[in-house]
């Protein structure tokens, strides 16, 4: 997949007739996959390429008062790009959603971007809006001289699959539910750094993770997880929280990796979140904590995907 960053709309060049997918994809979930699958099927039938026009950051940054959560995404860019390629995208075009971009009329957007990218077919979701009037998908059919494919709502258990639904599940620690909605496993990547080394003293040494991507984290709690280290996957139990038993105040992400004893400080690892075991609890002492961790270990080692 070729990735093209659009810095100036006047310099867009494309000699490939394409099926163009429109939308903002902060994480690729099963609803988004339906768009890519449909685009690929049309492209294969008509002998076209598949392209995506999207934004590196949420369009909300151009409209609402800033708060740091606006910079968080469901999936890191590298993973999003990999998934798009896996789902059949040939060209990924990205442009910043600025005030200037937002001021375009629906027709100007079609002229400046859709027509310039040589689109012959448009694919988008039923709730897509565009232009300074936030025109809906019905307007695409009146302005675009080509085929418009609108993908209906994709549901799981009678409810729409959406980024907001997945974010809410992650924040509540419902990572197994998030994985089902995404269609793949939710992960956190980072570098192993030094912590308090307290885990070693109680028989549960942990890898402390410093995340380096702007990705949402699971809510505080203890989780069944797998950890990828140098391409190998290990069963683990991981926690997100403040070590309240020891009066900790700093948010930590830690993983105890079973059957692994090497020092890996400075190495990149990936935590794969599988299921939540329990909330964070302040224990009366180390004995009570160790007893609970033994129970957490048993749950983690015996956990299997339903």
Domains, the chain: 2-160 (3.40.50.620), 186-302 (2.40.30.30)
- CA atoms of 217 and 87, how far apart (whole Å): 25
pLDDT at 246 (0 to 100): 47
pLDDT at 137 (0 to 100): 92
For residue range 172-207, list pLDDT tens digits in order: 999 999 999 999 999 999 999 987 655 555 567 888
User: In this structure, are residues 97 and 64 in contact, taking their beta carbons and an 8 Å threshold?
Assistant: no
For residue range 130-172, list pLDDT tens digits in order: 999 999 999 999 999 999 999 999 999 999 999 999 999 999 9
Which residues of the chain are under the pLDDT cut of 50? 246
């Amino acid at each position: 997949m070729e990735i093209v960053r659009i810095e100036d709309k006047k310099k867009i060049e494309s000699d490939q007739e394409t099926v163009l997918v429109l939308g903002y994809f902060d994480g690729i979930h099963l609803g988004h996959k339906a768009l890519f699958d449909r685009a690929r099927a049309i492209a294969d039938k008509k002998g076209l390429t598949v392209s995506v026009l999207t934004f590196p950051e949420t369009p909300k940054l151009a409209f609402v008062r800033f708060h740091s959560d606006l910079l968080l995404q469901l999936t890191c860019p590298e993973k999003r790009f990999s998934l798009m390629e896996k789902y059949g995208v040939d060209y990924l075009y990205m442009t910043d959603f600025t005030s200037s971009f937002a001021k375009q009329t629906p027709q100007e957007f079609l002229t400046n971007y859709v027509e310039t990218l040589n689109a012959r077919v448009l694919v988008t979701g039923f709730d897509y809006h565009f232009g300074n009037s936030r025109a809906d998908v019905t307007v695409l059919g009146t302005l675009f001289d080509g085929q418009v494919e609108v993908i209906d709502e994709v549901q799981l258990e009678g409810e729409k699959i959406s980024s907001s639904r997945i974010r809410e599940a992650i924040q509540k620690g419902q990572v197994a539910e998030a994985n089902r909605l995404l269609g793949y496993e939710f992960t956190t990547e980072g570098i192993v750094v030094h912590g308090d080394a307290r885990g070693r003293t109680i028989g549960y040494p942990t890898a402390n993770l410093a995340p380096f991507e702007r990705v949402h984290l699971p809510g505080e709690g203890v989780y069944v997880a797998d950890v990828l280290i140098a391409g190998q996957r290990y069963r683990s139990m991981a926690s997100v929280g403040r070590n309240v038993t020891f009066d900790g105040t700093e948010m930590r992400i830690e993983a105890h990796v079973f059957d692994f004893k090497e020092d890996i400080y400075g190495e990149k690892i990936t935590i794969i979140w599988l299921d939540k075991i329990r909330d964070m609890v302040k224990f009366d002492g180390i004995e009570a904590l160790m007893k609970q961790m033994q129970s957490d270990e048993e749950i983690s080692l015996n956990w299997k995907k339903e």
